[in-house]
Structure 1
Amino acid sequence: MKTHWLLLGILVGVVTVEAKIYFEERFGEKDWASRWVQSAHAGKEFGDFKLTPGKFYGDAEKDQGIQTSQDARFYGLSTKFEPFSNQDKPLVIQFSIKHEQNIDCGGGYVKVFDCSLDQKDMHGESPYLIMFGPDICGPGTKKVHVIFNYKGTNHLVKKDIRCKDDVFSHLYTLVVNPDNTYEVLIDNEKAQSGELEEDWDMLPPKKIKDPDATKPDDWDDRSTVPDPDDTKPEDWDQPEHIPDPDATKPDDWDDEMDGEWEPPMIDNPDYKGEWKPKQIDNPDYKGPWIHPEVDNPEYTADPQLYKYEEICSLGLDLWQVKSGTIFDNFLVGDDPEEAKRVGEETWGATKDDAKKMKDEQDEEERKKAEEEAKAGQPEKDEDDEDLDDEDEDDELEEEMDHDEL
């Protein structure tokens, strides 16, 4: 009986473990700026963030976020929270972003730092732990960055993760698990997943090509060879160009003045090009030679690739050519399901109404453009109509005069 109650207690303990949110920012309060620090790094012209729901939204208060407000500017803003380690538990980084300006080139990612970050001096070279989020620049760059710092070196994900590139708000979520797996979600739907060791070059490869192995001299990897019995036909060799047989010397050609006349050259229809014997199956073919591999002596497995000892700051370190991006609903926690629930409660609760407002605005713009186009066309007034009548009368009189002639 004791064992039964002990097991039940353990199960209850597992079920009642609470999700931990280490940092959350929804920008609902007017004093948001008191929690964030603007970088003043020398040599950078930083743009300002402003609090706004944007031009279209689902809820004016819930959709308030911080928006980049000046074109062709760097943006440097960060906040700190109580430090924690993600050892033995998931790490979740989540935020929503709306490129309201239909961005052509600019970043939309966040950086996560340890406590050593000098917020007043944050810049592009400030060491970070993780960089995550969309990056767009022209038609060729529309991807989600996932960069991990491992032992002082930044490593970019090897898989291509395409980001959203429209004007609507989207939710980006990164989950790093203690079993060294990860998942990237966009709008609470999986966009990519896999293993940290496989999808980043944080560790050397497990296997390398055997440095002592070489392809044997007698290894034949040609699947076909020239037919030794094939011979070139006797009439094969023909010139590539021949004189045009239909050309004649012009009547006004003067050999003394113009030189000896020669007909122009044309492509020879009988030209067959360089002769090559036909190919046959190689009787000595052994297939492609595969370099044997051996264990890499420089490889050491790391079961804690996922782990960061100290996470304590989140920042926006960006460059934007065209401003207008709105960041909102930041969350750093340890429970993917709780993050998903919060995402639906925030971004998910207003996204449909925001799209509806945008569609209505677009329809109004379309109607306005049509009306302006109509207004731009000249309309005939009564005086014009009288003039037209007079012109018609004059033309009739002229026709009558011509008839009389």
Structure 2
Amino acid sequence: MFGPDICGTQKKQLHVILSYQGQNYPIKKELECETDKLMHFYTFILRPDASYSILVDNRERDSGSMYTDWDILPPRKIKDVKAKKPADWDDREYIDDPNAVKPEGYDSIPKEIPDPKAREPDNWDEDEDGIWRPPKIPNPAYKGPWKPKRIKNPNYKGKWKIPYIDNPEFEDDPDLYVLKPIKYVGIEVWQVKAGSVFDNVLICDEPEYAKKVVEEVFANREISDRKRSFEEAEKLRKAREEEVTRMT
């Protein structure tokens, strides 16, 4: 199964479902289809090496492999659940500079100092108010608790990752890409409003020929004509809706 699926405002999906040994497998990627209501060509290319490409209007939209993007076969590689990070593995990217030395007298620098601009008020009375002391202000020389500078760790080995090993359950199928003979093409349509058009369905074994066909069709359908047809269809649809509204 291959093609667009638009349902409401949320679902705008491009389906790519492959069949293998009687079971259907949807692609694991979230692919979006075109939603501008104009005509588009969707192309799915499947190659003998099990790689694929998805084209929209002859431009590649996505690509990958059947081995990774469908859960058809078990993965070739799996994480080694028994693996453990080596005891000498250093994953600290930065460390304190071991050669950094705290400046002499650093800890004696006060956090606050008397405000040098403060002046004793003229009406200050030591007998009644006590000894006048200037208010405290933050000390611009205070740098906070001393910390050695950070440097690149010369022993940094990167973030340790669990290694992958061969999956004992993987069994390759050289004919994974092979499809059963295609005798029919079915178009599944479920819609709540008119306007969907399907044509020019092509199945072949030559991608370059398919691209050429798309180019020829595009050459005979100017974008301006497509837009004009769409606008005319929209006007007709709105006129019908207004007529139904008046009748009800």
> Shorter-chain TM-score category?
0.5 to 0.7
Contact 2:18 2:26 in 1 (8 A): yes
Q: Which has the bigger relative contact order, CA under 8 A and spacing at least 6?
A: 1
Contact 1:155 1:202 in 2 (8 A): no
1:156 and 2:27 aligned:
yes
Contact 2:67 2:75 in 1 (8 A): no
Q: CA deviation at 1:200?
A: 3.3
Q: CA deviation at 1:221?
A: 1.0
**1:62-101 pair list within 5 angstroms:** none
Which one of 176, 194, 205 corresponds to residue 305 of structure 1? 176
Contact 2:25 2:71 in 1 (8 A): no
Calculate the TM-score normalised by the size of structure 1: 0.40
2:58 corresponds to: 188
Contact 1:146 1:157 in 2 (8 A): no
2:221 corresponds to: 350
Cα distance change of structure 1 residues 286 and 360 upon mapping to structure 2, 3 Å threshold: closer
Contact 2:91 2:157 in 1 (8 A): yes
CA distance in 2, matches of 1:187, 1:295: 39
Aligned residue for 1:355, secondary structure, equals: helix
Which sections of structure 1, spanning at least 5 residues, go unmatched?
Answer: 1-130, 239-267, 365-405
1:222 corresponds to: 92
**1:263-302 pair list within 5 angstroms:** 277=147, 278-282=149-153, 284-302=155-173
CA distance in 1, matches of 2:79, 2:231: 61
The structure where strand makes up a greater share of residues is: 1
CA distance in 1, matches of 2:15, 2:187: 14
Cα distance change of structure 1 residues 345 and 288 upon mapping to structure 2, 3 Å threshold: closer
CA distance in 1, matches of 2:35, 2:51: 27
1:132 corresponds to: 2
Q: CA deviation at 1:236?
A: 7.7
Coordinate RMSD, CA, aligned = 4.2
CA distance in 1, matches of 2:110, 2:230: 70
Amino acid at match of 2:51: T
Which one of 173, 187, 210 corresponds to residue 43 of structure 2? 173
Calculate the TM-score normalised by the size of structure 2: 0.60
| Sequence identity (%) | 43
Which one of 68, 72, 76 corresponds to residue 206 of structure 1? 76
CA distance in 2, matches of 1:273, 1:133: 64
Contact 1:172 1:184 in 2 (8 A): yes
Contact 1:171 1:188 in 2 (8 A): yes
